[in-house]
Each structure stands twice: as C-alpha cells, then as structure tokens.
Structure 1
C-alpha cells in the first residue's frame, strides 16, 4: 500500500524573517541571530554512564581509565562534549547520586589524577567535559550529615530536620510528604531524636537551602571543579531544592484517594517552589564569574527538571534575558510525550510545545533518552532509531545523546535479583515496570564475551543483543549502520553549523505517517522527511519547483548521499535528509 504526498513549502517564511511565528497552521522557529554563536549553542552533548561505559581493570565496573581508553570513540563520532554521570565518592546506594565527598573521586572510578588525565586528553581532542552536580542531597555518610546529626556548631541546620508530631502517644512524621523511592520522605534519627527529610532514598538526606552556609558550601563545590578544569555541569533534580518552611500536608489530587501513592499528592510544598529558580540563577553567576575572570570558553550549566513546561522555562532565567539561569534545561518532550504507539501528531506537538514556550533569546535542546528512561530503540522501536537521531540532529540548538543511542542499543535484560535500582528492588513484583537498570547495562563495544566492556564479571549483565548490535560491527566504512548514519549526522551539523545557528525551521505533518522538519536560511535549505508508518509513502516535491540532493539516509533506505530527487518513495520507517539546490 502506498500513500502519495504533494509537498508545498510556499508557506515557509523567508529566513530573513525578524520574528518567530507560532500558530497551528505553520510553525516557524527562529534561532539565535548572533554571527558569533557560542560553542554550546549548537553542541552535541554525549552522556556517559561511567559505571557501564568501559572497565579498564577487570573489576566489572566502568571507570575513568576506561573512558580515557575509549575517548577516541567520541572524537570519531563527532560529538562536542561529554557529560559524565556522577563519579564522586559515594556508598553507591543510588549509583553515585548519594555523594559522600563532593571533592574526591570514588575508588570504583579511579582518582583525581585519572580525571586530570581525562581532562588533558579531552582538551587535546577538542572535547568538553561536563560533570554531574548533585545539589539537592548528599549521602548520609557525608561528613556534613554526620556533623549535623551530632549538632556540631555550624552544621545544626545543614539538613531539613523536624521533631515530628505526637499522635495517640506515638511520635510520627511531621506531614504526609512521600519519597520518590516509596514510603514516607521522613526518617527518624535515633541519635539526634529528630526526623530528617529525604526526597529520594533514606540514605540521601536533603540539604537545607534556606541555610546560607549550605548555599555557599555548594557554590564552593562548583568553584573547586571549575578551578580543576571542567567545562561545566549538569545539575541534578533541581525542582526539589526547597520545601515549604511550614511543612504543610500536600493535598490530594482530585479523584485520587491513596495517601500512600506519591502520584496522588499535589506537590505544591515539595517541588518547584519559587526560591528554586533564584538558586539556579545564583549558580549561574558562579559559572559566569569564572568564565569572565579567567577569559575562557563559556562554562555551561544544564539543568534536569521534570516539570510542567512553564516551570521548566523559568530555569533559563527571566523572559527578557536580564536574569540568567541554566544555559539550557533539558527538554524531555520526546521522552514524556512519545510512547511505543506514538504518532506524527505526537512528534509535531512535542516540538511545538517546547518552542511555543521558550523565550526567543534562549537556546533549545532535544533529548531522546538518558539513564532514567527506557532506551529510545526499546521505547520507540529499533526501526525508528535513525529517524529520531536525524530529528534531534536537524532541530535548532543543542543535541543530546545518551551513550549507546549512536548504535541503536536497546534495553538490556536484568532480573530483580541482579538489579541495583534502589526504588525498584524494594518490590520485585513491579521491578520490570519501575527499574532503571535496563537502560544502564554495559555499552556494546563488540560482539565478543561481555561485549568488550570488561574481562571480569560485569556489575550489570551485558545484554544478549550485543552480538547483533555493537560498535565494532557498525564502525566499518561502507557498512549501512546506525553508527555510520550518526557520524554522517555529526558531519552534517558541523559543515552547516552557521546555518543551524542562524536559520529558521518548520515542523509539519505531511500525512498521518510522515513528518517533515525543515531548516532554512539564505540560500540553504534542508529538510528531513521521516516515515513512521508501516507502508510506503511517496513524497512529491514538484509544487516547490525545487530539486533536492540526498544528504543522509536511514539504514533501510535505497537512496544514497548525493542522489538528486524531485520525488521520494519512502519505505516503512525510512528517513532522509535532503538539501535544496
């Protein structure tokens, strides 16, 4: 079955348009019009999950020396920067997000000298290094928490403490606040005889950002790593920095009666509180001051906030740009809005929702996956891997890649007994639905034993899919592979970087199964057509009076780069980027 599409681009605004047009009939995106675009505004950020990337010493755990050994892969792929998930000293209750020392490296990953070596090599290769900054909470093994438990002078209020209340002669938590990891968000400490608040695991007490000493201590952490030589930070879990000082109960959502279910509570007292944004603005000042004082490339800050779109935008700063926050806050639209049964409308709406809300002077970004969400190949289909990589590559601004997406890795196979995710292993009956271990399994370097990740026993099982999906098989010149498509996309972005920094773009639905995204500036015109359906679709460009040259194609395409076309027959799940001439 074939579907015929007659395409007209007449409605697209000229690239010289002075303003952004946003409506339901057409969707035009205007990017930064500065001729000297800062490095990060068109960058490709590659997230490395260190524990699963490359093990250099055979202990089954990825480490910094492993990253050093494989850093050439990032250069070969063509990415701009890499963000490392936490590598700081930690008991590893939550895989490094429970930090016991912000200024040291966990022995599992190596030493400070290893990080220095990585920074030196990355600089030589032209790759920026971004660290994961976790400001909301520490490990309960952190010396700050130990001092706070003991009420040591200066640390009494470093964390959120409360006496609780007495009900029928029994001391209970002060309110109904619940943890992201199930159960009450309050834990009683016998030594201090008070409850402490933990948004996440019991072993992850929340810092008290109402205490100026905490704020200054965390700014000093940023300064320490900036002085060390890193290029910026990904800031974790920022919506939770502040809590209601009166500790009021959170109300139930209409129609929801289960007081033990966190999703039944309206989190008006524990999430997205107004002081949170001001704190991010203060963090930004630290980075900007360092950049200006030392006359170095911009030190970048990107924030993680699963929040309503209008609240996400506040992390950027104010609407006119006079107050600056994150250089960008992660756009999770393709994660939250797209499921296995996604439609073209879902794709277009995800793009429109983001652009409709972002102030014009800020930079967009596009994320397909990360260590907390099922891999894109699993979530949206192996057959669509190239199409979605093309989508994030051609859209305006920053592209973010989670390690493995460049080769189309799927989720691994992990049992509850093998898992480590603290929120999931509490209940094996729901492990398959709740665990984040599946997307954290080791990288597939090759098809040998343990996929070339380790000579030892891997901390999480290596997926059986590594035999068929691995870098070594795909990184062969002339082979049609997801990785070679990805490299072509990186070269495409590099070659037309100024075009992408200055241009406009459109995102439209051609049919129920074909989405088109276009980029236009001056005489440059690029379009992506992506067939998400199970049938052939014919796209005819005759009304445009324009001819096109094929630039990049998906692995299943019959077209080749350099082909001239005025019509495309798109196979099921085929995607093609074209250049007008």
Structure 2
C-alpha cells in the first residue's frame, strides 16, 4: 500500500460561530515557547516570530496559558493584573500585534482566564491586607477568624491541592483560604464586585480580538463556607456528584457562567469558552451547555494507558456526553499539567507502578514519573505509541487540544536539578510530588545553541542534550518525522472532517480499533504487539497517512493509519 504523496488543498478556515466545534487548538505556554529578547523567558515577540511555523503546522487556534503580570508562584496562574501583560513577556501593543498576525493566518486566539484565585500581589488583595477585619476589601476574598483560644489555629485542617495547609494567617490574625498555593488567595464569588470585575475582564480581551477563553478550575468558584466548617476528613467524605459539595462543582457556579454567556454572545461571532472542570461524568454536560461555557475538557483519554478497550470506552462515552450537552467532544493527550504522553506510553503500566491510585491519575502531573524512574522508560516505544495515539485523537469528531512540543515528539524532561525547579507542587510536597516542570521546559527550535534556538541566551529551565535531535529544525521537511506527521495529519483533518459522528468497524482482534467518518475516511489503530492484516475492503482504500510504515497490507504493532475509500 502506497502513501498518497499529494497534500490535499486545505479548505478555508471558517469564521462562523461554530469554528470551535472541530478545531485543532495548539496550547502555547508563553514562558517556554520562544524568547525574542534573550532573558531566558518566552515572550509575545517570540510567539509573533513563530507565527509562520504555526501556520504551516495547520492548526485552527492557539490557546495561550497566562501571560499576565505574575510573581510566578504557580507558573503564571497567580495573576496580579487580569487586564495587562507581564512586562517580562511583552506589552498590550505586542499582544494586539500577535492577535493580528495570527488572525492574518486564519488562526483564532484563546486565552486562559483564572477566576478562582488571584495572586497575593493583586491590588485587591494588597488592599484587603491593609484594610483589616470587616472591610469591604476583605469581602472580595475569603477571610476567617482562626480557632483555638487565641485564634492561632487555622479555621479548618484542610489541605491545599499543592500540599500544605489551605489557610494562611495574616498579620492581624485572620486567615485566608487558598485551595492552591498560599500566594493564590481564593476570590469570594458571592461578592458582586468580583463578578462585575470578571465581566469587565472578559469584555476587555474580547474587544482586543480574543476569540475564546479557557477557564481554569471552572468547578471551584462558588463555595458554601457556612459555619461550622467541616473537618478535612468530613470534607473528603462529602459526595461531589450532587452539586452541594462545600467547595467543588456547586450548582450556583452555573449562574456565573450564564452571565458570562451573555457577554460572549454579545459579540459576532460569539466568543467561545472551554471549562477545565474535574467533575463527575454526569456533571460535565452543564458546563458545556449552550447557555453556559459551551465546551468542557474531557480528560478521560489523557488518563488512560495505551489500550484499545480503554480508548474505545472513552470515545463512546465522550461522544454521548457531547450529544447530551449539544457541544462537541474535546480530546487531550498532553498539556502543561501532565507528563508528556510520549513518556507516559513508554513507562510501565499503572498497574505495575507501586503506590499509584486513581486519584493520582486524575490529578495527572506526576503519577508515572514518581513511581517509574528514567531507567524504566522505553523512549522508542513511547514515541511510537504517542504518534499512534495522536493520529487516533486527530481522527475523532470534536476539537483536539495539542500541547506545544508534542508535534516534535518531545519526551518529559525528568532530570531537572532541584535547584532549577520552579513548580510549587515540588516544594510543597518534597519527596512525594516531582512537579510539572518536566513538561514546561522551553522548546528546542534548532539543533544546537545555548538554548537550542529558544532564544539568544539560556532558557529559564535546563534543556537536555537530546533536545537537538528532537528540534523543529532537525525534523523540518524530513519524511517520517513527527513534525511532518502532525503537519500532514492536520491538513488532512481540515479537508476531511465534516459531521461529528463515527461508526465503529468491527475487527478480528480486541487490540485493534477501527472506525469510519463520513466521506469514507477510515482510521485503524493497532494497540497490540503483532501486525494486523487489513481485510480486502480496507486494503483497497487509499492510504492517507500512517504513524509507522505499513508492512504490505498490514498495520504494524502500535501504529495508526488513515485510509479513504476510493470512489466507486
């Protein structure tokens, strides 16, 4: 079977209100994408310089992780000013220039919004500290008196997501709540000022041409902190699936998103949004509803091992959820919070990793590396599986969210010295959590140089020697490279993807999945260790792209192929 050489003519990117439903969205972690001024930190000018690369990649949109002023207590997710750009990253004028450059290539712009908490350096929080007890300024956050005879103990024994206490005491003796780092105080979303200010923020960026928003920790904004507060054990025992948990996924949060939807729909085309909401399955559709945010991340595929039955179950379930909400499915294999999938798939399975739990899997950041040292990583196999999984993902109906560097087949950087690490999860959980720095190491653009082309100087996180061989320059135009695989797949995807449906094709093996999309587009993924010979009807198809070279009419082990039925 011979691969079709000619690339399809791309159909124009649509400007209608439904562009997001089947978009390929490329996540940029700005501080690690491209550095134009040589200070070691990626910037907007660096992104602008790489717009041609993004255009030739064939994506429909970029999603920018936070670029706002920040003390970087949590990689930029501690926001000091929601309506400005961190001076180390650029200016508002450069942001406008970036939007213009991306739009000129037909690429939409999605930005992160972090509404659960601000930085402790935010003007509002500094005002709250200065104003004292009972002030209107403190009502914007969640302050409480301590316990014990002199109030020197925290209001509860709750633990933050990043480890350590969830309450921090201020100088006058009160305590404030932070579900994450102590530098990230939680907003009080029952306060009308907070709600109004975020509506202002959404309009501010929408007016600057932003096409959509990714909502960080979308399920945590509203809280019921009526006294007496439950203990940590009592809190953990409260179910999360009925909308009444004191902290997570409360029904009232959707009142906020209904207000946001009115803002989004005031624009033409309407602004889009996608929720990061780690909630029970039956709770997801409401976040993705048309009168809410419109779309919600489904991380189930990301949390699975490379297994045919698991992948099929996730896809079937996710498509059913999308139909329930009227939204489209979202597919994710890597992002800024998890171990890169080229590494995950090259490590021992979860069942062989001592101490791993389902909660580790859902949190995502370290559950593999913590239990599987570098010596156990099969890099070649991990990359082969990652290429196969990526082609599988890109063939599915719905939107695909890609993380910078996955198109280069990058592995996790696991050997970062402790002195160079930046992630608060590493420092708040010493010896337990390896942190997320390994997937945030600046990208390699060139084969060599002080930062492999990331910038004129050294990068803010150390890059390994093997980056040169994985760089964009080393793969550009090289047949069979992971970069060229992504380019071809993304171009084909835009030309071929139509209706948001698929039909499973039964195969003779449990470790082989096949499905067909409208227009005769067939995807076959062999999750097994032995080749799978295509039946005659599929062997007669046109071969469009493959993650590994076919062996005659056989799909190799751990590989994906895209086929198209020939016209009668």
The answer (yes or no) to whether the contact 1:348–1:508 under 8 Å persists in 2 is: no
Q: Which structure 2 residues correspond to residues 499-514 of structure 1 after superposition, within 5 A?
A: 500-501=498-499, 503-506=501-504, 510-514=508-512
Match of 1:553 among 543, 546, 567: 546
Map of 2:264 onto structure 1: 287
Q: Does the 8 A contact of 2:120 with 2:184 survive in 1?
A: yes
Structure 2 CA distance for partners of 1:431 and 1:364, relative to 1, 3 Å? closer
| In structure 2, distance between residues paired with 1:65 and 1:306 | 34
Going from structure 1 to structure 2, the CA distance change for 1:252 and 1:177 (only over 3 Å counts) comes to: closer
Q: What is the Cα deviation at residue 148 of structure 1? A: 1.8
Question: Contact 2:392–2:560 (CA<8 Å) still a contact in 1?
Answer: no
Equivalence for 2:163 = 182
Q: Residue deviations 1:80-112, cap 9 Å, x none?
A: 110110000111111111111111111120111
**1:530 alignment partner in structure 2:** 525
Greater than 4 Å deviation, 4+ residue runs:
247-253, 262-267, 507-510
SS in 2 for 1:453: coil
1:576 partner SS: strand
Deviation digits for residues 497-540 of structure 1, max 9, x if unmatched? 4xx235444376752321113213xxx21111111222222231
Q: Conserved in 2, the CA contact under 8 Å of 1:54 and 1:67?
A: yes
For residue 579 of structure 1, what is the aligned residue in structure 2?
A: 564
Structure 1 contact 252–265 (Cα < 8 Å) conserved? no
Structure 1 gap segments, 5+ residues each? 1-35, 254-258, 560-567
Match of 2:520, SS?
strand
In 2, Cα distance between the equivalents of 1:250 and 1:487?
A: 52
**2-side partners of 1:170 and 1:215: how far apart?**
31
Contact 1:441 1:462 in 2 (8 A): yes
Matched residue of 1:110: which SS? coil
Q: For 1:364-403, what aligned pairs fall within 5 Å after superposition?
A: 364-380=329-345, 381-403=382-404
Aligned pair in 2 of structure 1 residues 430, 99: CA closer, same or farther (>3 Å)?
same
How many correspondences in the alignment?
507
- The structural deviation recorded for 1:171 is 3.1
Determine helix, strand or coil for the equivalent of 1:442: coil
Residues 340-365 of structure 1: CA distance to partner in whole angstroms, max 9, x if unpaired?
A: xx321111111122123333422111
TM-score (norm 2): 0.84
CA distance in 1 between counterparts of 2:187 and 2:505 reads 42
Alpha-carbon distance between aligned partners in 2 of 1:139 and 1:547, rounded to the nearest angstrom: 59
Separation in 1 of the partners of 2:194 and 2:399?
A: 32
Corresponding position: 1:343 with 2:336: no
Superposed counterparts of 1:147-226, under 5 Å? 147-151=127-131, 154-166=136-148, 171-191=152-172, 193-226=173-206
* Mapped partners of 1:186, 1:383: distance in 2: 45
Alignment deviations for residues 27-55 of structure 1 (CA, whole Å, 9 cap, x no partner): xxxxxxxxx77211121110001111011
Deviation at 1:118, TM superposition (A): 0.6
Tell me the alpha carbon deviations over residues 1-58 of structure 1, each in whole angstroms, 9 at most, x when there is no partner. xxxxxxxxxxxxxxxxxxxxxxxxxxxxxxxxxxx77211121110001111011111
User: Are 2:548 and 2:556, in contact at CA under 8 Å, matched by a contact in 1?
Assistant: no
> How many Å separate the matches in 1 of 2:98 and 2:446?
23
Report the more deviating stretch, 532-541 or 128-137: 532-541
Q: CA RMSD in A?
A: 2.3
Deviation at residue 199 of structure 1 after TM alignment: 0.6
Distance 1:186 1:247, change over 3 A: farther
Q: How far apart, CA to CA, are the structure 1 residues paired with 2:549 and 2:246? A: 50
Query: What residue is the counterpart of 1:307 in the other structure?
Result: 279
After superposition, give the CA deviation of every residue in 1:406-443 in whole Å (9 maximum; x if it has no partner).
Answer: 121111131222110001123442343xx101111111
Q: Give distance in 1, aligned partners of 2:42 and 2:237.
A: 38
Deviates most, 455-464 or 502-511: 502-511
8 Å contact 2:36–2:455 — kept in the other structure? yes
1:45 aligns with 2:25: yes
Q: Distance in 2 between matches of 1:141 and 1:37?
A: 37
Map 1:421-460; keep pairs closer than 5 Å: 421-432=423-434, 435-449=435-449, 450-460=451-461
Q: Secondary structure at the match of 1:488?
A: helix
* Distance change >3 Å, CA 409–CA 272, structure 1 → 2: same
Change in Cα spacing, 1:172 to 1:508, as seen in structure 2 (3 Å) is farther
CA contact (8 A) 1:37 1:501 kept: no
The answer to which of 352-361 and 303-312 deviates more is 352-361
Partners in 2 of 1:446 and 1:379 — Cα distance? Answer: 25
Contact 2:408 2:483 in 1 (8 A): yes
Q: Is the 8 A contact 1:64 1:118 kept in 2?
A: yes
Q: CA 1:171–1:265 in 2, change beyond 3 Å: closer, same or farther? A: farther
Residue 278 (structure 1) aligned with residue 255 (structure 2): yes
Q: Secondary structure at the match of 2:424?
A: coil
Distance 1:406 1:80, change over 3 A: same
CA distance in 2: counterparts of 1:508 and 1:403, whole angstroms: 34
Map Cα deviations across residues 457-476 of structure 1 (whole Å, 9 max, x no partner).
21111133312212112111
Q: Which residue of 2 aligns with 1:97?
A: 77
Aligned equivalent of 2:298? 331
Change (3 A) 1:225 1:89: same
The answer as to whether partners of 1:482 and 1:555 remain within 8 angstroms in 2 is no
Contact 1:531-1:572 within 8 A present in 2 as well: yes
Contact kept? 1:451, 1:466, Cα under 8 Å: yes
